[in-house]
Amino acid sequence: MNKGELVEAIAASTGLSKTQSDAALAATIATIKKELGKGGSVALIGFGTFSVSKRGARKGKNPRTGEAIKIAARKVAKFSAGADLKATVNGEKKAAPKAAAKPAKKVAKKK
């Protein structure tokens, strides 16, 4: 599934338009990136946790020349799956059924 397919699935299950679904997904991703950029973490109970991990400096090898090189320390994004996600992936629990699409509520304009 790519981003476009994910947006369509969100739109179908929530009753939002594709534009609104795309905006919601973009906002979610941006918020997660912002929090990880600050060194924090984002925990979505049942789904998993996004966090930042420190990777120490180490020695590596240039595959082309075989020469030893130094690889600098850096921070990396990490995802740890939650219990519900693990159970679904392992077939121990069925994924939540698709909710029936409800039309978006229309707000009456004041005159």
Contact 87, 96 (CB under 8 A): no
Do 2 and 31 lie in a common domain? Answer: yes
Name the pTM for this structure. Answer: 0.72
Residue 90's pLDDT is: 92
CATH number at residue 71: 4.10.520.10
Q: Give per-residue pLDDT as tens, 18-65.
A: 999 999 999 999 999 999 999 999 999 989 999 999 999 999 999 999
Residue 106's pLDDT is: 59
Q: Give kind and range of the element (H or E) at residue 8.
A: helix 3-14
Share of the chain above pLDDT 90, in %: 80
E strands, 1-111, are: 42-44, 48-55, 58-61, 68-71, 74-81
Do 26 and 57 lie in a common domain? Answer: no
Rounded to an integer, what distance in angstroms lies between the CA atom of residue 26 and that of residue 109?
28
Is the pLDDT score of 102 beyond 60?
no
Per the model's pLDDT, the better-predicted residue between 13 and 100 turns out to be: 13
Q: Are strands 48-55 and 42-44 parallel, antiparallel or unpaired?
A: antiparallel
Do 21 and 48 lie in a common domain? Answer: no
